[in-house]
Amino acid sequence: MRMTCPLCGARDLREFTFRGAALARPEGDDWNEAWHDYLHLRDNPAGESREYWAHAAGCGAVLLVTRDTRTHEIFAVEQARGAGA
Amino acid sequence: MRFSGLRVLKEGLTGNRGWGPHWRDPAPKPAYDIVIIGGGGHGLATAFYLAKEHGLTNVAVLEKGYLGGGNVGRNTTIVRANYFLPGNSEFYSHSLKLWEGLENELNYNVMHSQRGVINLFHSDGQRDAAARRGNAMINQGDDAELLDREGVRRLLPYLDYDQARFPIYGALHHKRGGTARHDAVAWGFARGASARGVDLIQNCEVTGIDTSGGRVTGVQTSRGAIKARKVAIVTAGRSGQVAQMAGLRLPIESHILQAFVTEGLKPVIDNVVTFGMGHFYISQSDKGGLVFGGDLDFYPSYAQRGNLPTAEHVMEAGMTLMPMIGKARVLRSWGGIMDMTPDGSPIIDRTHIEGLYLDCGWCYGGFKAVPGSGFALAHLLATDRPHDSAAGFRLERFRDGQGLMDEEGTGAQHNTH
């Protein structure tokens, strides 16, 4: 599996670290259902998945990756910042 | 049909013409008291214990593919009870006791071999942690023995004791741990359940879960609708998709875990050896193959295969620990779909939908749990009360924060176990 970092180009998988499903972070500090949802519950899709990866051994950018969890095919990689995720 | 040495002898002398199928192949009935979704180890064990312990036989196990075709046929076959935290400890202890009586109970050779599990440690701090874990295991009523370096050397003379990064200080030895023949476990439970009247229905994919007024009423399947008073989802890595049919979101992410096996060799590794610091563990199958694995690839996947960096990492760790295996050729590698929970511990519980039950979140430790999980889920289905050994496996512990069982101490968040 290779991933194309928008800043660095196509790189080996081992430069990247999975950082979790791309979910909207709730507002506020009080524990509530929205935080439980965000921290614990997952759609866990078999198919297209939107998730954060960090180019940890590269430029350090956090990336928004759209990927097929059944085939490992990567549809899109963009910088998470400004991607509206 | 009962198996015995005499029967094997008689069949051997008469051309093996007397063996029959191990279980019936019934068509689904229109309704059951209990439907179990998933004909893997946990589902089949649940069916067996429902029939045997509770006399409930109006039960169907629905399997999308063939019995035992999922993780129970794809794991590295290790059986152990060396957990530390209350909640986990009593469960795996109970499961190991069930393993110890399993072959007699099932009249089936599951090749359970208590060859011992040896967890290596490499520092003073790790020695303290191993001693503490060993004491917890002994307090639970199980066995543990702390080995020093020379004690390990007597058992495992072939390790590299002086590697610079992880010199071997000793090990925690769990003698009652070992391995079993994974497929035979599924087959043995299937045979036992079928013989007691449970319907095992293969090639029957569940496509919907029917509810009415907050209670489950049955399932839709590729072989028609089936009514049921109670439905249990026992589908491991596919739990998310099946639960979604009932509108549930689960605290589960499905990850890939790889395993490897070499060509058959003469007996060389007598025990299960784990090298946690390197992410490597190994045993030798009765056919002679070295069966080994490491850690997750650490990204969600349903592909049932992993990527090369993890394969390379596992092999490097193996070579670091035991350079002698370097000439063994790897025959196969594969991946399983692990139902990972945030705290790394499982779920056996009811849901907010009456009559709908969950047994999932086994992470990468589901095989040894097969008898204990089946026993506990059967108890829950039959009595609507959790079995004492599994009372900690609550679904709501993530919501209310009570009783989280984070065995690794890495935080109860996804992608940390």
Output the pLDDT for position B301: 97
Output the pLDDT for position B260: 98
A13:B302 CB<8 A: no
Per-residue pLDDT of chain B (417 residues; tens, 9 = 90+): 799 999 999 999 999 999 999 999 999 999 999 999 999 999 999 999 999 999 999 999 999 999 999 999 999 999 999 999 999 999 999 999 999 999 999 999 999 999 999 999 999 999 999 999 999 999 999 999 999 999 999 999 999 998 889 999 999 999 999 999 999 999 999 999 999 999 999 999 999 999 999 999 999 999 999 999 999 999 999 999 999 999 999 999 999 999 999 999 999 999 999 999 999 999 999 999 999 999 999 999 999 999 999 999 999 999 999 999 999 999 999 999 999 999 999 999 999 999 999 999 999 999 999 999 999 999 999 999 999 999 999 999 999 999 999 998 888 999 888
Q: Is A33 within a domain? A: yes
Q: What CATH architecture applies to the domain B30-109+177-251+342-417?
A: 3-Layer(bba) Sandwich (3.50)
The answer, yes or no, to whether residue A15 has pLDDT greater than 80, is yes
Mutate which: B252, B256, B301, B402, vs A, most A CBs within 10 A: B301
B252:A44 CB<8 A: yes
Alpha helices in A13-58 (DSSP H): 33-39
State which residue of chain B sits closest to A32, comparing Cα positions. B399
**Chain A residues within 8 A (CB-CB) of chain B?**
1, 12-14, 17-21, 31, 36-37, 39-46, 49, 51, 53, 69-72
Cross-chain CB nearest to B298 (options A18, A43, A46): A18
Q: Which residues of B touch A39 (CB under 8 A)?
A: 342, 398, 413-414
Q: How far is A13 from chain B (nearest CA, A)?
A: 8
Q: Has the ipTM of the complex gone over 0.85?
A: yes
**Which residues 6+ apart lie within 8 Å of A52 measured at CB?**
A18, A19, A20, A21, A22, A62, A63, A64, A65, A80, A85
B399:A37 CB<8 A: no
Residue (of B100, B82, B30, B140) closest to B365 by Cα position: B82
B399:A40 CB<8 A: yes
Residue B406's φ and ψ, nearest 5 degrees, are -95, 85
Residue B111, Ramachandran bin (φ over 0: left; ψ between -120 and 50: alpha; else beta)? left
- Please report how the helices B89-106 and B370-383 are oriented relative to each other, as an axis angle in degrees rounded to 10: 100
B298:A17 CB<8 A: yes
Residue A69: DSSP 8-state:
T
Q: Specify the fold of B110-176+253-340.
A: D-Amino Acid Oxidase; Chain A, domain 2 (3.30.9)
Q: Quickly tell me which residue has 């290779």 as its tokens.
A: A2
Q: Is A85 within a domain? A: no
Mutate which: A32, A40, A66, vs B, most B CBs within 10 A: A40
A44:B240 CB<8 A: yes
A13:B309 CB<8 A: yes
- Residues B373, B359 contacting (CB under 8 angstroms): yes
Q: Which residues of A touch B307 (CB under 8 A)?
A: 1, 13, 72
Output the pLDDT for position B61: 98
CB pairs under 8 A between A and B: 71
pLDDT in tens, B284-335: 999 999 999 999 999 999 999 999 999 999 999 999 999 999 999 999 999 9
The answer, yes or no, to whether residue A85 has pLDDT greater than 70, is no
Q: Which residues of B touch A51 (CB under 8 A)?
A: 299-300
Domain that holds residue A68: 2-79
Q: Is A84 within a domain? A: no
Output the pLDDT for position B1: 79
A67 pLDDT tier (thresholds 50, 70, 90) = very high
Output the pLDDT for position A81: 87
Q: How far is A82 from chain B (nearest CA, A)?
A: 23
CA–CA dist B320, B313 (Å, integer): 11
Q: Is A55 within a domain? A: yes
Torsion angle, alpha carbons of A29, A35, A39, A41, to 10: 180
B298:A12 CB<8 A: no
Domain extents in chain B: 30-109+177-251+342-417, 110-176+253-340
CA distances to B166, B289, B324 from B268, in Å: 22, 10, 10
B298:A19 CB<8 A: no
Number of compact structural domains in chain A: 1
Output the pLDDT for position B72: 97
The first and second tokens of residue A77, run together, are: 């990689």
Largest Cα separation within chain A, whole Å, is 41
pTM, rounded to two decimals = 0.97
Mutate which: B299, B314, B358, vs A, most A CBs within 10 A: B299
Q: What is the DSSP string of B65-118?
A: SSTT-SGGGTS--EE-----STTTHHHHHHHHHHHHHHHHHHTS----B---EE
State which residue of chain B sits closest to A43, comparing Cα positions. B249
Output the pLDDT for position A82: 75
State which residue of chain B sits closest to A2, comparing Cα positions. B307
Output the pLDDT for position A84: 58
State which residue of chain B sits closest to A14, comparing Cα positions. B309
Query: What value does the CA radius of gyration of chain A take, rounded to a whole number of Å?
Result: 14
A40:B240 CB<8 A: no
Output the pLDDT for position B164: 87
Q: How far is B410 from chain A (nearest CA, A)?
A: 15
Q: Which residues of B touch A18 (CB under 8 A)?
A: 298-300, 415
CATH of the domain at A28: 3.30.2270.10
Query: For the stretch A18-50, what's the b/e string if a residue is b when 16 or more beta carbons lie within 10 angstroms of its beta carbon?
Result: bbbbbbeeeeeeeeeeebbbebbbbebbbeebb
Residue (of A21, A1, A2, A14) closest to A58 by Cα position: A14
CA–CA dist B99, B77 (Å, integer): 12
